[in-house]
Structure 1
Amino acid sequence: MSMSFALNAEPNTVWYNNRSLLQNTFSDDNFLMRIFLPHDIAVPSINDSIVPSFACGFFCAGSATSCDAYIFSIFFVYVSTDFSQRLRWPEIVWFANRDHPVGENATVQFTELGDLVLYDADGTLVWSTNTANKSVVSMNLTGSGNLVLLDRTNVEVWRSFDHPTDTLVISQTLQMGQKLVARTSSTNWTEGKLYLTESPSSLMASYVALKNGSLEVFTSFQETKAPDYHIQLPENSFGLEFARLDWDGHMRLYQWINYSAWVPSDIFDITDPCAYPLACGEYGICSHGQCSCPDVAIGQSGLFELVDAKGVNHGCFLTSSLTCGSARKTRFLAVPNVTHFNFVYNWTTNEDHCKLSCMDDCSCRASFFQHKDISSGFCFLAFNIFSMINFSAQSYSSNFSSSAFLKIQDSTHKSLLSKEKRAIVLVAGSLSFVTSVIVAVLIVLRRKRDEPLEDEYFIDQLPGLPTRFSFVDLKSATGDFSRKIGAGGFGSVFEGQIGDKHVAVKRLDSIGQGKREFLAEVQTIGSINHIHLVRLIGFCVEKTHRLLVYEYMPNGSLDKWIFQNHQADPLDWKTRLKIISDVAKALAYLHSDCRQTIAHLDIKPENILLDEVFTAKISDFGLAKLIDREQSSVMTRLRGRLGYLAPEWLTSVITEKVDVYSFGVVIMEILCSRRNLDYSQPEESCHLISMLQEKAKNNQLMDLIDPCFFDMELHMDDVL
Structure 2
Amino acid sequence: MRSPDRFLLLFLSTQLCLRSLVAEPFDYPTAAPSTSWTNNPSLENNFTYADGSMVRAILLCSSNPSFEGLSFAAGFFCNAACDAFLFAVFIVYTDSGAVIMDPVMTASPQVVWSANRDRPVRENATLHFTEDGNLVLRDADSTVVWSTNTSGRSVLGMNITASGNLLLFDRKNASIWQSFDHPTDSLVPGQTLREGQRLIANISTTNWTRGQFYLTVLADGLSAFVDSSPPQVYYIRSFSGPEAKNKSAYVTFTNGSLEFFDSFTKRGVPDENITLPSASSVQHMRLESDGHLNVYGWSYQTGWNVVDDVTSQELDNCAYPTVCGEYGICSNNGQCSCPGGTNSGSNYFRPINARQPNLGCSPVIPLSCQSLQDHQLVALQDVTYFSSLLAVEYGTYFPSVASLNLKTEESCKQACLKNCSCKAAIFQYGQNTSDHGSCFLPWQLFSLMNNQPTVTHYNSTLYVKVQIVPRTTNGTLNSPTSRKKVMGVGVILGSTIGALFAVLLVVGLFVLFMRKKNSNMEEEDQFDQVPGMPTRFSFEELKVATKNFCKKLGEGGFGSVFEGELGDMRVAVKRLDGIGQGKKEFLAEVETIGSIHHVYLVRLIGFCAERSYRLLVYEHMCNGSLDQWIFYRNQDVSLDWQTRCRIITHIAKALSYLHEECRQRIAHLDIKPQNILLDDNFNAKVSDFGLAKMIDRDQSHVMTRMRGTPGYLAPEWLTSRITEKVDIYSFGVVVMEIVCGRKNLDYSQSEESFHLISLLQEKVKEDRLLDLIDNHSNDMHLHHEEVIEIMQLAMWCLQIDSNKRPSMSTVVKVLEGAMNVETCLDYNFVTTTPVMSSNVNHLDASPQQSASLLSGPR
Calculate the TM-score normalised by the size of structure 2.
0.54
1:140 deviates by 0.7
Post-superposition offset of 1:304: 3.6
Within 2, Cα distance between the matches of 1:232 and 1:429?
A: 58
Give the Cα separation in 2 of the matches to 1:170 and 1:331.
51
Asked if residue 247 in structure 1 is aligned to residue 289 in structure 2, the reply is yes
Q: Distance in 1 between matches of 2:690 and 2:411?
A: 29
Deviation for aligned residue 1:172: 0.9
- Identical aligned residues as a percent: 34
Shift of 1:284: 2.1
Partner SS, residue 155 of structure 2: coil
Q: Secondary structure at the match of 1:215?
A: strand
Moved more, 302-311 or 161-170: 302-311
Q: Do 1:277 and 1:341's aligned partners in 2 also have CA atoms closer than 8 Å?
A: yes
Q: Which residue of 2 aligns with 1:545?
A: none
Q: 1:621 to 1:520 in 2, by over 3 A?
A: closer
- Are the structure 2 counterparts of residues 426 and 57 from structure 1 closer, same or farther at C-alpha, using a change threshold of 3 Å? closer
CA distance in 2, matches of 1:655, 1:57: 44
* Separation in structure 2 between the aligned mates of residue 221 and residue 592 of structure 1, nearest angstrom: 42
8 Å CA contact 1:604, 1:662 repeated in 2: no
Q: Does the CA contact (< 8 Å) of 1:328 and 1:409 recur in 2?
A: no
- RMSD of equivalent CA atoms: 6.0
User: Matches of residues 230-629 of structure 1 in structure 2 within 5 Å?
Assistant: 230-238=273-281, 240-257=282-299, 260-264=302-306, 265-268=308-311, 269-270=313-314, 272-296=316-340, 303-307=348-352, 309-318=354-363, 332-343=377-388, 344=398, 345-346=401-402, 347-349=404-406, 354=412, 365-372=423-430, 377-391=437-451, 393=453, 395-398=455-458, 400-406=459-465, 408=466, 476-479=517-520, 522=591, 525-526=594-595, 535=606, 552-553=614-615, 600-602=668-670, 618=688, 620=690, 622-623=692-693
Aligned match of 2:260: 217
Tell me what 2:272 maps to: 229
Preserved contact between residue 288 and residue 393 of structure 1 (Cα < 8 Å): no
Query: Counterpart of 2:8?
Result: none
Instruction: Assess if the C-alpha contact under 8 Å between 2:64 and 2:162 holds in 1.
Output: no
Aligned residue number for residue 455 of structure 1 = none
Residue 713 of structure 1: aligned partner? none
**Mapped contact 2:413–2:425 kept (Cα < 8 A):** yes
Deviation at 1:384, TM superposition (A): 3.6
Residue type of the partner of 1:286?
C
Q: Residues 683, 338 of structure 1: CA spacing in aligned structure 2 closer, same or farther, 3 A cutoff?
A: same
For 2:638, the equivalent position in structure 1 comes to: none
- 2:335 counterpart SS class: strand
In structure 1, C-alpha distance between the alignment counterparts of 2:480 and 2:374, rounded to whole Å: 25
Match of 1:513 in 2: none
- Give the AA of the match of 2:162: G
Paired residue secondary structure (1:342): helix
SS of residue matched to 2:187: strand
CA contact (8 A) 2:257 2:276 kept: yes
In 2, the alpha carbon distance for the partners of 1:111 and 1:277 equals: 44
**The residue matched to 1:58 in structure 2 has which SS?**
strand
> What are the Cα deviations for residues 86-143 of structure 1, in whole angstroms up to 9, with x where unaligned?
4833111111111221222222221122111111111222111111111112111111
Shift of 1:369: 3.5
Distance 1:8 1:522 in 2: 50
Pick one of 47, 55, 58 that aligns with 1:36. Answer: 58
Q: Secondary structure in 1 aligned to 2:405?
A: strand
Structure 1 position 24 matched with structure 2 position 93 = no
Summarize deviations over 1:421-476 as a string: whole Å, max 9, x none.
Answer: x99x969899978975688679989x99xx99xxxxxxxxxxxxxxxxx9988765
Match of 1:716 in 2: none
Residue-by-residue CA offset, 1:380-400 (whole Å, 9 max, x unaligned) = 3434432223347550433x4
Alignment match of 2:251 (pick from 199, 208, 233) = 208
C-alpha spacing 1:683/1:208, structure 2 compared with 1 (3 Å): same
SS of the residue aligned with 2:211?
strand
How far apart, CA to CA, are the structure 2 residues paired with 1:551 and 1:351? Answer: 48
Give yes or no for contact 1:242–1:254 (8 Å, CA) kept in 2.
yes
- Summarize the Cα distance change of 1:437–1:334 in structure 2 as closer, same or farther, 3 Å threshold: same
What amino acid sits opposite 1:261 in the alignment? G
Q: Write the mapping of 1:80-229 to structure 2, written as runs, cut at 5 A.
A: 80=95, 83=99, 86=102, 88-201=107-220, 203=238, 206-220=249-263, 224-229=267-272
What is the aligned length? 580
Distance 1:20 1:636 in 2: 62
CA deviation vs aligned residue, 1:314-353 (integer Å, no higher than 9, x gap)? 4334455567779997655443443321242442126566
Residues 440 and 395 of structure 1, relative CA distance in 2, 3 Å threshold: farther
**Change over 3 Å in CA distance of 1:440–1:526 after alignment to 2:** same
1:257 alignment partner AA? S
Secondary structure (helix, strand or coil) at the match of 1:34 reads: strand
Letter in 1 for 2:428: Q
Distance 2:655 2:155 in 1: 31
CA-CA distance at 1:207 after TM superposition: 1.3
- Cα deviation, 1:493-535, whole Å, max 9, x if unaligned, reads xxxx99x9999898999xxxxxxxx999947534669999595
Q: Which secondary structure does the structure 2 equivalent of 1:36 belong to?
A: strand
SS in 1 for 2:594: helix
Out of 20, 37, 50, the position equivalent to 1:15 is 37
Structure 2, unaligned stretches of length 5 or more? Answer: 1-13, 18-27, 222-237, 389-397, 505-510, 525-537, 543-574, 617-632, 635-647, 659-665, 677-686, 717-723, 760-770, 777-858
The answer to whether the 8 A contact 1:607-1:619 is kept is: no
Partners of 1:378 and 1:31 lie apart in 2 by: 50
- The Cα shift of 1:309 comes to 4.1
Structure with more relative contact order (C-alpha pairs < 8 Å, separation 6 or more): 2
Tell me the distance in 1 between the aligned counterparts of 2:428 and 2:589: 23
Partner in structure 2 of residue 53 of structure 1: 71
Instruction: Give distance in 2, aligned partners of 1:188 and 1:194.
Output: 14
Question: 1:79 is matched by which residue type in structure 2?
Answer: T
CA 1:482–1:153 in 2, change beyond 3 Å: closer, same or farther?
closer
Cα separation, partners in 2 of 1:507 and 1:93, compared to 1, 3 Å? closer
**Rounded Cα–Cα distance in structure 1 between residues aligned with 2:74 and 2:287:** 21
- Say which is worse superposed, 164-173 or 10-19, in terms of deviation: 10-19
CA distance in 1: counterparts of 2:131 and 2:757, whole angstroms: 40
Q: Which residue of 1 aligns with 2:853?
A: none
Query: C-alpha offsets along residues 140-181 of structure 1, whole Å, 9 cap, x if unaligned?
Result: 111111111111211111111111111111111111111111
C-alpha contact (below 8 Å) 1:61/1:67 kept by paired residues:
yes
Could you tell me how far apart the structure 2 residues matched to 1:520 and 1:395 are?
Answer: 48
Alpha-carbon shift at residue 293 of structure 1 (Å): 3.0
Does the Cα contact within 8 Å between 1:208 and 1:218 map onto a contact in 2?
A: yes
Contact 2:671 2:727 in 1 (8 A): no
1:44-98: CA deviations, max 9, x gaps?
469xxx5322111222222xxx421222211111135673664833111111111
d(CA) in 2 for partners of 1:658 and 1:430? 40
Q: Matches of 1:20 and 1:605 in 2, distance apart? A: 41
Give the secondary structure class of the aligned counterpart of 1:654.
helix
8 A Cα contact 1:645 1:662, kept in partner = no
| Amino acid of the structure 2 residue aligned with 1:36 | I
Cα distance change, pair 361–431 in 1 and its aligned pair in 2 (3 A):
closer
Give the match for residue 393 of structure 2: none
8 Å Cα contact 1:603-1:663 kept in structure 2: no
Moved more, 186-195 or 431-440: 431-440
Separation in 2, partners of 1:294, 1:655:
37
Equivalent residue of 2:258, what SS? strand
